[in-house]
Structure 1
Amino acid sequence: MKGYTRAQLALRNGQDREEIWCAYKGKIYDVSSSRLWRNGHHYEHWAGQDLTKELGDAPHTEKVFARFSVIGRLKPVSES
């Protein structure tokens, strides 16, 4: 699985490029097809970021990511 740095992930925020990606538990998901992520944000959550810590504030569980494709892994800071 291809690895992406946090800087590469940040470019997929729905504003700098058409791709809308977010990371969760080290995996990067393509959420571009979701109308809920249009314009790169979903309620108070922003695309192009690692949302692992933020999921606790969401009204759903991590199962929400099952409907999206994993397109890569988030490289640890030590690999960046």
Structure 2
Amino acid sequence: MLKEYTKSQLALRNGQDKDEIWVAFKGNIYDVGASRLWRNGKHYEHWAGQDLTDELSDAPHTENVFERFKIIGILIP
């Protein structure tokens, strides 16, 4: 079973406050720290530690990009 995290806990995993670089999408939290595109917690105009569900429509890729990353938790309201 995956651990649950709040938005406040996710916000700390931004590559700055803690070493982890995590993002949420559709309720799942992904570790994107291994991606060179997320160095220092920034990916173009997006920052780690956030729920990116509503921002995907601005991306040049589909949600399939998340299949590359391990789900490490669940985002709770």
> In the alignment, which residue of structure 2 is the partner of 1:34?
35
> In the alignment, which residue of structure 1 is the partner of 2:60?
59
Amino acid corresponding to residue 37 of structure 1 in structure 2: W
TM-score (norm 2): 0.97
> In the alignment, which residue of structure 1 is the partner of 2:74?
73
Gaps of 5+ in 2: none
TM-align CA RMSD = 0.4
> In the alignment, which residue of structure 2 is the partner of 1:48?
49
> In the alignment, which residue of structure 2 is the partner of 1:6?
7
Shift >2 Å, 4+ stretches = none
> In the alignment, which residue of structure 2 is the partner of 1:15?
16
- Describe the superposition over 1:49-79 as per-residue Cα deviations: whole angstroms up to 9, x where unpaired: 0000000000000000001000000002xxx
Gaps of 5+ in 1: none
Q: Matched residue pairs, number?
A: 76
> In the alignment, which residue of structure 2 is the partner of 1:24?
25
